[in-house]
Amino acid sequence: MITLLIEFSVTTETALRLCEKESVLLVDPSLVESKEEIKLAEFLSERNFRKEKNLAKKKKYEFLLWLTGKRDIKSAMDYSRPKSNQALAVFFGKDRKKNLLSLLKVTKKRKPTLINRGNPLQLERIALSRIMKIGAAPL
């Protein structure tokens, strides 16, 4: 998995549409503060695919569900949607990366400056997102 902080010059809708067909997600940079959050969401999504307990059919969407702490893809996508022309791009493969960056008309790209250790509440949101059953009383 490769993460880049990018600025693009196409509309957000166009950028999301282009990424929909590829193995890449664009998320609002404010959603992720640490490398640990990304690693935890990646670990949990990979584990669920191995155990065949994934909710999403595609690995990128399973990762997004864990990262956002949501249970359905639509709300996860709405929650993580970039609010400007800047986004954290999460690539789940190297194929077509250069071509996609060109299509997005990326004006700036760099490695994200993420802290190593995550905020305990952020990590808890990720780790516990599937423990509560729908309709269960809150803790």
pLDDT in tens, 5-62: 999 999 999 999 999 888 999 999 999 999 999 999 999 999 999 999 999 999 999 9
User: How many angstroms separate the Cα of 17 from the Cα of each of 13, 24, 71, 104, 120?
Assistant: 6, 11, 22, 10, 33
**38 or 97, which is more confident:** 38
* Entry pTM: 0.87
C-alpha dihedral sign at 64, 67, 71, 72: negative
Tokens, residue 112: 């994200």
Among candidate residues 5, 15, 23, the one with its CA nearest the CA of residue 64: 23
